[in-house]
Structures are given as C-alpha cells and as structure tokens.
Structure 1
Amino acid sequence: MNFSNIFVQLQNKETVLITGASGLVGRHLLNRLSHTDCHIIAICRDIPQDADPRFTWVSCDILDIITLQEVMKGVDKIYHCAAIVSFNPKMQKEILQINVEGTANVVNAALENSVKKMLHVSSVAAIGESEGENKIIHEALEWKKENASGYGMSKYFAEMEVWRGISEGLNAVIINPSVILGCADWDKGSAEIFKTVYNEFPWYTQGVHGFVDVKDVAKAAVILMNSDVLAERFILNGINISYKDLFFKIAKSFNKKAPHKEVTKFLSEIIWRIKYLQEKFTGKPSILNRRTARTAMAKVEYSSEKLKAFFPDFTYTNIDETVDRITKELQVKYALKVI
C-alpha cells in the first residue's frame, strides 16, 4: 500500500490513526469518530472480515517498525489502543513485548513524523496502590513493582515510554480505565464475566473493584484528544461495585440463576488451585488463577475526581444500563437462549 498517496489525496482533512482498531476500545473509538470529518486510519494485526469501508484499514503489527513509520506519515493524532490484556503468566514475554516495546515504537514513530497529539490507553493496573484498607486509589499514588502483576508491569513501563516521548517533545495524554465492560469475545477478557454468570457459576465474592463502560472510555478519549490537556493521566472509572452485586445484575439481565455461594478467602485459595490443575490437564486457560482469585477477594476503589475536575459536565453511564446493553448484544452475538 502506498501511504504517501493516501496522504496526498486527503491532506486537507485531519488524519487520525488508531492502533488496535479491531479491539474493544478501538472499535468504539472508530464508531465515535465515524461521525466526524477526519480521515481515519485503522491499524491492527488482522483486518476483520466486516471491516468498515469508511476507514482506511492497514494490517500492521506495532512491532513492525518500518510499516509503522510509513503508515504514520501525515498523521495528526494517534489513539494508541493496541495492547495485550492478560494475567496469564505463560504470556508474560509476549505481553511485555507488545505492551512496552510496541508502545515505544508508536512513540518513536509519532516523534519522527511530528504527530500533533497522542492519547495512550493505559490501565489502573499501572496506578500505585493505597496503603491500608478502604482508601481510594488516585492518579498520584506511587507505583510499586513488588505489588504488580505481569500485565501491570507492562502497562506501567508502557506509560514510561509515553512520558519519555513527552520529555522529547511529544504532546500526549494518558487514560487509565478500570475494568472495561463491553460486548467482545466472551472467552477472554472482561466479557468472560458475562459468560461465567450466563453459565450460572454458583460462586461470588464480596470483593470490590472499579468498572467502566467502553462507551465512556471512547467518549473520554475523544474529549481529551480534542482538548488542550497535555502531560496528564486520568483514571476512568464509572463505578466501584462488589463482584456480588455486579454478578447479580448480570444474572438478572440474562434471566439466569444468580450466584448463591460466597467464596471465603480460604475457599478462593482452594478453587484457584483446582482450576490450575484443570488447566494443566485440559490445556484450556482459566480466568481464575492465583492473582485473579486474590484480586476478586480484595476491596479496591478508584477515584474519577480528576477527570470531573477537568471536565465537570462529563458523566458515566449507569451500570444497569451498561449491563442490560451488553447482555442484549451478547445474546445477538452468540445467539443465546434467554428464558
């Protein structure tokens, strides 16, 4: 593909590039930006069969420095969404390579091509932890390596590449979403929560975590990109809610039996070990491992006050509306039977 020809033909339009365009956040950004007059370049490793023809799709791995440099010529703005989201220890090497080295490549290409602004999609996994119980996590907390998962480390070091780019003259801003809820492949990622509840998994925990609608992530990303805010990071968190309450809401929306057995700390240690052994025998990765089991027991709350301070009119989608929309989309996607 001749990228220079694309630029010449569309040089009068603002050009926006989205990495990871086929992913959950990338797809919602495309949808949100489709109503604008900008030229959109959507890059991903594998172009989906139902790729929207309104966008310029390019097959590009962010580890491919040459293609990345070429496709970024003439680009005005970048939404960097490409990343691997996994807590599977077996994927540690790939996670670090894509999330850290890939982000470094995107930053370098943006600097080389004088991109006007970049928005980096990070995670609350790159935010430091508060000391003690019942303390709200905010953007200024110090990150500590000893408390981080492999995924958390990858997102933290990816952010360091963005801050390095900022020090070298790149205009950039960072968002740190909590657990993103949206309709996606429910065999992996956060959508697996919905599959677990649909299959009437009987267990729940009283652990608390932050969750945010993918539509709100895309909305906040566009608002920040089009603002004059630079060199800042923002937690995006729609609600802090217990897994029990979230599971109950999903079960109600699916008209399924809600979880009815509480997992104690002792039981969680047994269950993740059983799942680990099952994974060894079947070869099928489980959403439940030592880290995810312990995370499900923890009570962690995130503050979204900084974003509200910068943009007082910004509002998050109600969690009931989010759950109902996603369950309906999953019913269509997987032809689910709901009584």
Structure 2
Amino acid sequence: MKVFVTGGTGYVGQPVVRALLKHGHAVRLLRRRGGRPMELSGSLQEVEGDLSNISTLCSGMQGVDAIIHLVGIIREDKRRGVTMHGIHADGTAHVIEAARQVGISRIIHMSALGARPSATSTYHRSKWEAETLIRQSGMSYTVFRPSIVFGAGGPGPNFITELAAAIRKAPFVPIIGDGSSLLQPVHINTVASVFAQALEKDETIGETFEVGGPEVVMYEEIVEKITDRLNTRKPTVHIPLAVMEQLVKVLGWMPAFPLTADQLTMLREGNVCSAPNRLYDTFDVAPIPFSIPPEQLST
C-alpha cells in the first residue's frame, strides 16, 4: 500500500515510518522545507510542504492509498503564529480537504489520551477538534490516543527527554506537587506497530483506540527512574502546585522554561486508559513494561 505520512520526521513519526516500511508499505513523507532528509532503506519518497498549503498536500497525495496523520505540537509559539488550534485543527482540516480533492478515503489519525471537548488544556481541546473533523469527514478513519510515550524514537521533544533536561539543568531534582499523578507510559514500538497494523485491519475502521502501556505509574516513579538513569546525586525537592502555577504564568511563554500551563494542567490531571486491554486484544503487540532506555537519554 502507498501511504502519505504527515509528521513522519519527529519522535513518533520516524518509528512509524520504519514500521510501515517493515510491513512492506511504500511511504511518501511530508517534510518541512529546509528539513533534513530521512536516511532509511526501503520504498521511501519525501515531498516538501506543510499543512497550511492544500495544493502542496494534494500534490504529495497523488497516487497514494491512505494517509497517516501524525503532526502535533506540545508547545505554542504565538509570536510566530504557531498555535495548537492552527496545527491540530486547521492542519487536520487541510489534510481532509486535500484527501477529498485527490480521492483518498482512508486515514489513520494520532490524537492524544485525554482529548475531550471539556478539557482544561488547549492541547486536549484542539486534539478533540481534530478528532471531530476526522469523524465528520466521511473518510474511513481510525483514531489512536497515545498516553505519554517512552523509548528511543526519532528527533524532537518528548515527555521523558524534556523531564530529563529539566533534571540536568536544575540544582535539585524537581517534582511538581506530591508526585502522585498517575500516568500510563507506552513504548514507542507499540505506537509505531499499531499504526502500521491498522492499515491491514479493516475491523479498525471507524474505531478509536486508547494507546497505553501495561502499567500505571506515578509521576514521581518516572522521575526516580530518570534520576537513576542519569546517575544524579541531587536532592529531591517537591514544588507545591500553587508555586508552580505562578512560575508558569510568569515564565511559561519562554522556550527555555521546561513547562507550559497546558503541560502543568495535564500532569495534574493524570493520564490513564479507561480500557487498557482493548488495544492488545485487537493488535498483535506485546505489552512492554515502562523503563528508561539509556539511548533515550544519551544526548
């Protein structure tokens, strides 16, 4: 099958592309202008463009059978016009319109665990907007909602490496609140595999899957595993939520600050699956327990 992939150069995207190639699919990858080409063996073609240009999307989609839509951001840059709504909702609308013009009916979309219309975070609300557009598109869709992802993937920001960067920079190991927020980390290989398999499983059409790992872990446990992997001897300091909220209000807009208001909200809410076994009952993937591979923190 020929597959058009958006967001295929990032942390989740590169493993998804590798999984598609391993399954024998031909991939046409949308790459931002000036971005570095991917060096992978297999039937891989790259086209330059972005989600704002429907005509470019149409050109890239010519002759393909399905779309895997992965593009997403975890931090806005409003000074450059980069917003959650613009990327997640408007970008998805452009992908759908291009698919309609070209005549593609199959799409597999990456949302996020916690996406819902009443969400406090802009991230989750905009992901819900994108899901709604997908469901109303008339296309044969499958939606995946991953929890936080761990494991060595492609380049780009992810929860584990950003948390590790904050621990490296701080004079102490910071833990927000009491550290009891519950999360369900899922391995990058699990995420990549289910995207590739969904192309071959017609029974996944019209379905939405939560994508989590086999374990629910506390936020503080994740910090401890990162600290052990970094072999740091810094003292651990719990930062009260009220203090962190004020810091985020003042400094959260700065790219160098490790946390945004959205990320603080999502961390406070926790992030676990309501039906964790459904994914493993549908797809041929083995549950991978949470760990911090050394290569994920090698930079």
SS of residue paired to 2:216: strand
Partners of 2:211 and 2:142 in 1: how far apart? Answer: 13
Is the 2:115–2:125 Cα contact (8 Å) retained in structure 1?
Answer: yes
Please say if 1:196 is aligned against 2:166. Answer: yes
Q: 246, 250, 271: which is aligned to 2:244?
A: 271
Partners of 1:237 and 1:76 in 2: how far apart? Answer: 28
Please say if 1:179 is aligned against 2:148. Answer: yes
Please say if 1:119 is aligned against 2:141. Answer: no
Q: 258, 262, 279: which is aligned to 2:238?
A: 262
Please say if 1:232 is aligned against 2:207. Answer: yes
Alignment match, 2:222: 246
Code of the aligned partner of 1:31: R
Is the 1:44–1:61 Cα contact (8 Å) retained in structure 2?
Answer: yes
Alignment match, 1:132: none
Please say if 1:59 is aligned against 2:48. Answer: yes
Note the C-alpha offset of 1:232: 0.6
Question: Quick one: structure 1 residues 220 and 213, their matched pair in 2 at CA, closer, same or farther if it must change by over 3 Å?
Answer: same
- Identity over the aligned pairs, expressed in percent? 20
What residue ranges of structure 1 are gaps of 5+ in the alignment?
Answer: 1-13, 128-142, 335-339
Alignment match, 1:4: none
State the TM-score, normalized to the length of structure 2.
Answer: 0.85
Q: 94, 99, 107: which is aligned to 1:110?
A: 99
Alignment match, 2:182: 208
Partners of 2:164 and 2:242 in 1: how far apart? Answer: 23
Alignment match, 1:288: 259
Code of the aligned partner of 1:175: F
Partners of 1:220 and 1:232 in 2: how far apart? Answer: 13
Note the C-alpha offset of 1:45: 1.4
* CA deviation string 1:152-199 (max 9, x = no partner): 11111101110011xx2x111000001122447998441201222344
SS of residue paired to 1:126: coil
Note the C-alpha offset of 1:220: 1.2
Is the 1:187–1:195 Cα contact (8 Å) retained in structure 2?
Answer: no
Note the C-alpha offset of 1:206: 2.0
Note the C-alpha offset of 1:257: 2.9
Note the C-alpha offset of 1:21: 1.4
Q: 72, 80, 85: which is aligned to 1:83?
A: 72
Is the 2:9–2:155 Cα contact (8 Å) retained in structure 1?
Answer: no
Please say if 1:149 is aligned against 2:158. Answer: no
Question: Quick one: structure 1 residues 185 and 316, their matched pair in 2 at CA, closer, same or farther if it must change by over 3 Å?
Answer: same
Q: 282, 288, 298: which is aligned to 1:310?
A: 282
Note the C-alpha offset of 1:307: 1.5
Partners of 2:24 and 2:285 in 1: how far apart? Answer: 23
Is the 1:118–1:173 Cα contact (8 Å) retained in structure 2?
Answer: yes
Partners of 2:17 and 2:266 in 1: how far apart? Answer: 32
Question: Quick one: structure 1 residues 259 and 22, their matched pair in 2 at CA, closer, same or farther if it must change by over 3 Å?
Answer: farther
State the TM-score, normalized to the length of structure 1.
Answer: 0.76
Is the 1:194–1:250 Cα contact (8 Å) retained in structure 2?
Answer: yes
SS of residue paired to 1:257: coil
| Higher RCO (C-alpha 8 Å, min separation 6) | 2
Question: Quick one: structure 1 residues 274 and 100, their matched pair in 2 at CA, closer, same or farther if it must change by over 3 Å?
Answer: closer
What residue ranges of structure 2 are gaps of 5+ in the alignment?
Answer: none
Alignment root-mean-square deviation, CA: 2.7
Partners of 2:197 and 2:235 in 1: how far apart? Answer: 38
Partners of 1:182 and 1:215 in 2: how far apart? Answer: 8
Partners of 2:246 and 2:180 in 1: how far apart? Answer: 20
SS of residue paired to 2:145: strand
Code of the aligned partner of 1:37: G
Please say if 1:222 is aligned against 2:199. Answer: no
Note the C-alpha offset of 1:276: 4.1
Question: Quick one: structure 1 residues 91 and 44, their matched pair in 2 at CA, closer, same or farther if it must change by over 3 Å?
Answer: same
SS of residue paired to 2:8: coil
Computing the radius of gyration from Cα coordinates, the structure with the larger value is 1
Code of the aligned partner of 1:260: T
Note the C-alpha offset of 1:86: 2.5
Partners of 1:159 and 1:89 in 2: how far apart? Answer: 23
Note the C-alpha offset of 1:298: 3.9
Is the 1:72–1:110 Cα contact (8 Å) retained in structure 2?
Answer: yes
Partners of 1:258 and 1:219 in 2: how far apart? Answer: 37
Is the 2:187–2:288 Cα contact (8 Å) retained in structure 1?
Answer: yes
